[in-house]
Amino acid sequence: MIVKTPEQKKAVKQGMLSNVMRQFDNAADIIGLNSNIRKILEVTNNELVVHFPVRMDNGEVEIFTGYRVQHNNALGPYKGGLRYHPTVDIDAARALAMWMTWKTSLAGLPYGGAKGGIQLDPTKYSNAELERITRRFTYALGDNIGPELDIPAPDVNTNPQTMAWILDTYMSTKSPAERSTNMHVVTGKPIGAGGSQGRDRATGYGVFLNIKFWAEHKNIKLKDKRFIVQGFGNVGYWAAYFLEKEGASMIAVQDAYGSIINEEGISVDHLLAYTKANKGSIMGFAGAETLDKANFFSLDCDICIPAALGNVITAANAPKIKAYLIAEGANGPTDVEAEEILLDKGVTILPDILCNSGGVIGSYFEWLQNRNGEIWQMDEVLEKLEKKLRESFTKVMETSAQRGIDMRTAAFIIAIERLEETYVQRGIFP
């Protein structure tokens, strides 16, 4: 595993915030965004930093730092994931919260954007410790989250189990009569704890659908296309799973432990089974060879899916990329300088706020079901998800063609214009 210095970590975090602001400024300049509304959208509404103690398995107490940044709620309650990662800090949370605002606006959802998490490496803690950390963090957040205020979801290194712990802790702080009405305080829950069918695959399925829509638009068949995936967690796995079903071939995978390659193709399900038996790592998988991590993005392939962390495609590796389509499963994987290089090369980038929005759309469906006391079947969820994503994709393609701009700028323009309209119609209090 590559260990970054504190200076390198700081550069990555600042880079994410710089990226989202530059993307916003670029789109705002093109549409001549009202200067007063611009001032509002440039800053976050609320930023919460909590320090809380947790007793470890050895009896010692450790202090953790948790974050929750609420960017904007003009369209509805704040919505966004919680991640457990050493790179989590206030700047990273600000950048990710802003992206969530644009993502929910673009998708036409009644949500604003938020993000947060805890600065820790979850591999260093037992399951019992992670449960206590999660419950104590939830308690520390208190009424700063809520089903009609701010609704967390899973993100990097968090999962349905994490959400179940948050749900149980939050509900236990309410009176018995109120508890069942707070089921939708988090989404991405296990099915038995009020989760939705299809939510587990919603993000990765959305990445696949955006690739499919783009291929249809270009009259390209996905069969026999070669793709590479960075990050073989929930998003990377499901995107690869559905692409493989279309006849495409996964030739390389990279995760936090290393990279593997097989030019003949890597079985998606065989690799998943291996990672489950191997503490989540892809390394040592018999159906592939080890690859130097530095050469991953320069592999000869058709589609590249960065589905791990932000700022992984940079000015340093962008010139070597051979894929003609990049589908952003992660948030902010491509920095601004890299994007300029790739667009000049004729590479198409399916931007994160469109490409990975299946997750928040799936979360919206779960929230609705909890709120209304309904249970939808898998086919119903996936059908609704495809319809919503196709609407977003079509809007982005049309705006891109009409204005002669790239897809990311088009997506930002659609998202910002929806928010601008809301502020114009509602006015500013007082």
C-alpha dist (Å) from residue 273 to 182, 231, 277, 286 = 35, 15, 7, 12
Average pLDDT of the chain is 95
Tell me: pLDDT of 12 over 80: no
Marked catalytic residue, from 79, 103, 115, 189 = 115
Query: Which of 226, 222, 236, 217 lies closest to 275, judged by CA?
Result: 236
CB 223 within 8 A of CB 246: yes
Tell me: pLDDT of 3 over 50: no
Torsion angle of the four alpha carbons 130, 133, 137, 138, in this order, in degrees rounded to the nearest 10:
60
> What pLDDT is attached to residue 16?
86
> What pLDDT is attached to residue 14?
56
Query: Which of 194, 160, 162 lies closest to 180, judged by CA?
Result: 194
> What pLDDT is attached to residue 430?
87
**Which pLDDT tens digit goes with each residue over 207-242?**
999 999 999 999 999 999 999 999 999 999 999 999
Tell me: pLDDT of 305 over 90: yes
Torsion angle of the four alpha carbons 92, 98, 101, 106, in this order, in degrees rounded to the nearest 10:
-110
**Which pLDDT tens digit goes with each residue over 62-83?**
999 999 999 999 999 999 999 9
Tokens at 131, concatenated: 């449960």
Q: What is the DSSP letter of 185?
A: G
What residues contact 341, with CB distance under 8 A and at least 6 apart? Answer: 315, 318, 319
- For 225-241, letters b (16+ CB in 10 Å) and e give bbbbbbbbbbbbbbbbb
Strand order across the beta sheet in which 258-261 lies: 289-291, 258-261, 249-255, 226-230, 303-306, 325-327, 348-350
Mean pLDDT, residues 318-323:
97
> What pLDDT is attached to residue 1?
40
How would residue 254 be classed by pLDDT, with cut points 50, 70 and 90?
very high
pTM of the model: 0.94
How far apart are the C-alpha atoms of 66 and 392, rounded to whole Å?
33
What residue has token string 């989250």? 145
Tokens at 263, concatenated: 């030019």
Tell me: pLDDT of 47 over 80: yes
Full DSSP string of 335-403? -HHHHHHHHHTT-EEE-HHHHTTHHHHHHHHHHHHHHHT----HHHHHHHHHHHHHHHHHHHHHHHHHH
- For 6-25, letters b (16+ CB in 10 Å) and e give eeeeeebbebbbbbbeebbe
H/E stretch holding 173: none
What residue has token string 């730092």? 65
The percent of residues in the chain predicted with pLDDT above 90, rounded, is: 95
* Residue 45 phi, psi dihedral angles, 5° rounding: -70, -50
- Specify whether 218 is catalytic: no
The percent of residues in the chain predicted with pLDDT above 70, rounded, is: 97
Dmax over Cα atoms in the chain, in whole Å? 65
**Which pLDDT tens digit goes with each residue over 13-32?**
557 899 999 999 999 999 99
Query: Which of 170, 370, 212 lies closest to 305, judged by CA?
Result: 212
